[in-house]
Structure 1
Amino acid sequence: MSGIPRIKVNNHGTFFYQYEFSLLDALEAQEIPAPYNCRGGYCGTCKVRLLDGEVEQVQDALFDTVGDEILTCCCKPVGHIEIELPED
């Protein structure tokens, strides 16, 4: 499984990306409680920190991110990534 991107999530372990539409879809498939609201890149609720790796956009976002922030509803991993979900 070395060619399949691996996703590491703080306090939730590591799993392999199964080519879902977005990173948010992949997190939901693993039953990881990732925040979201609109699924369209408008609200920013699904914002997480990208600690390592690279993502590519699957749809345009209207919410501006800063620095290492990404919107899980608008991207997917290019390779292995590590993300940090916000604290409750």
Structure 2
Amino acid sequence: MKYKIIYSNKFKKQYKKIGKTNKKLLEEILYVVSVLQSGDNLPRKYRDHKLQGKLSEFYECHILSDWLLIYFKDKDCLVITLVSTGTHADLFD
């Protein structure tokens, strides 16, 4: 099953900024998005997991050790919304 990917405005801005400075990170993000879109599970190295607390409806995976992707997965509609990407400090402080 293939998911439709929706990009939040916040994610688009963050992604565009990355593209100007870090092509390798950009490639990793594109790979992760393609796996998510296909409906497959991410390899373990990305530490994909559901968040807790106020953000319990969202998922997070580690693109790099301190670079995260936060997304929402609607399994009923087969839609994944890419919410935000950045370091722990960028996203949670």
Higher alpha-carbon Rg: 2
Higher helix share: 2
Task: Using structure 2 for the length normalisation, give the TM-score.
Answer: 0.29
